[in-house]
Amino acid sequence: MTLQEAFSEGSGHRREPAVRYERKKMTVMAICAVSCGCDDRVDVVDWREEEEGRLRTFLVLAK
């Protein structure tokens, strides 16, 4: 099973308007952020905002 397959199953518990990103994209962003030293939710969100341009080179993100 690939990571994509593992994280794309199930519907999750998120509901609009809180759903901004697909779960698999959110998981990729979180893994990248943690790999870069982030250790909590706030750090992950800050990192994602700072690295949005780079993330867009391999993820299609909503504007």
- Identify the pLDDT of residue 18: 56
Q: What is the pLDDT of residues 18-53, one digit of tens each?
A: 566 777 788 888 999 999 999 999 999 999 999 989
Whether the predicted pLDDT of 59 surpasses 90: no
The answer to whether the beta carbons of residues 8 and 24 sit under 8 Å apart is yes
CA distances (Å), origin 21, targets 1, 9, 37, 40, 44 = 22, 15, 22, 18, 14
Residues whose CB is less than 8 angstroms from the CB of residue 3 and which lie 6 or more positions away in sequence, other chains included? 27
- Identify the pLDDT of residue 28: 86
- Cis omega before residue 17 (within 30°)? yes
- Identify the pLDDT of residue 17: 59
More confident residue, 1 or 50: 50
CA distances (Å), origin 29, targets 21, 38, 40, 43 = 10, 11, 13, 12
**What is the reported pTM?**
0.67
